[in-house]
Structure 1
């Protein structure tokens, strides 16, 4: 079975939870300390979908290989057309195009929903794979926040990257 990217479903929550648990425990791609359980991950997925954001999984012959979703960049109304992306690939499955397939579809789905900007918040500059992935899809470096997060007994810098979606900032939104 070739890699397929599709909308996530509640049946995917156990696999999504397992992928995210490894990120929380072992890495700094998320600054969360405690691994959320399946009920919490299902709640998060439902909240994203209910708010009109895409939530995707990549699946191959071995099952769910990664997931991605968009969410609000900030809660103030002026940011309503800007999303933040999250892309996670299962441990040991990186470097096989899974993240690229997810991000490509996530960008397309966000554009189809009328969003205008996508922000990538990358947990530390040493995550060159994520930075290169985002560059491949037209993201540009906006800046690096120095020492703003504490995890695994060290201060972490955070990379911010940005990509326009659709008309970007070239024309006003229809609802102004």
Structure 2
């Protein structure tokens, strides 16, 4: 084969040269409904079974998720979902009572989980901002984040950018996948806008 013939063959045909843009990543954040529970469970179960971002060692059942939903609804605490343009649940965020004692009733701990395909696109920040706003509107005074310390840098930076400050670390408090893990606790005061 002559060099000029080889060069012609290396060029892709015109129909294969079209660059297809990735569809725009868009989502809507809204209050969770009971119908969202199976999708929420699926997202959370992925992290329970495959990562150390949560120290839970077994996925919650649908019944347990329904109880969580009912408690948060009764306490008027936020439980939000992110829904894609195709109406698929791609993430969730919730604020639960930090402790059961009534003295702590205005202090919440948050949880945020995203579908694996939705990470790194700004959705976590959007959900956390929406959750902070919703918790503030309900009269919560502080929000606590308890972050598993393995590969936590991005989560810690996000929380710092949104006004959380580190208040403590606990080493080797949870065992998962055959190793001991610690936690980082971060706190943000919630202030109503005037």
Q: Give the TM-score normalised by structure 1.
A: 0.89
Higher relative contact order (CA 8 A, sep 6+): 1
Q: Which residue does 1:6 correspond to in 2?
A: 30
Is it true that 1:41 corresponds to 2:65 in the alignment?
Answer: yes
Q: Which residue does 2:16 correspond to in 1?
A: none
For residues 96-150 of structure 1, what are the alpha-carbon distances to aligned partners after superposition, in whole Å with 9 as ceiling and x for unaligned?
1111111111000111111111100001152222112211211111111011111
Is it true that 1:117 corresponds to 2:150 in the alignment?
Answer: no
> Which structure 2 residues correspond to residues 1-176 of structure 1 after superposition, within 5 A?
2-62=26-86, 63-166=88-191
Structure whose residues are more often helix by fraction: 2
Q: Runs of 4 or more off by more than 4 Å in structure 1?
A: none
Secondary structure of 1:156 counterpart: strand
Secondary structure of 1:138 counterpart: coil
Secondary structure of 1:159 counterpart: strand
Task: Please state how far the C-alpha of 1:154 moved relative to its aligned partner.
Answer: 0.6
For residues 56-100 of structure 1, what are the alpha-carbon distances to aligned partners after superposition, in whole Å with 9 as ceiling and x for unaligned?
001112411100000111122221111101110111211111111
Task: Please state how far the C-alpha of 1:40 moved relative to its aligned partner.
Answer: 2.1
Q: Give the TM-score normalised by structure 2.
A: 0.81
Root-mean-square deviation (CA), in Å?
A: 1.4
Per mean C-alpha deviation after superposition, the further-off stretch among 132-141 and 100-109 is 132-141
2: distance between equivalents of 1:14 and 1:161?
Answer: 29
Q: Which residue does 1:170 correspond to in 2?
A: none
CA contact (8 A) 2:109 2:146 kept: yes
Secondary structure of 1:155 counterpart: strand
CA contact (8 A) 1:13 1:41 kept: yes
Task: Please state how far the C-alpha of 1:41 moved relative to its aligned partner.
Answer: 1.4
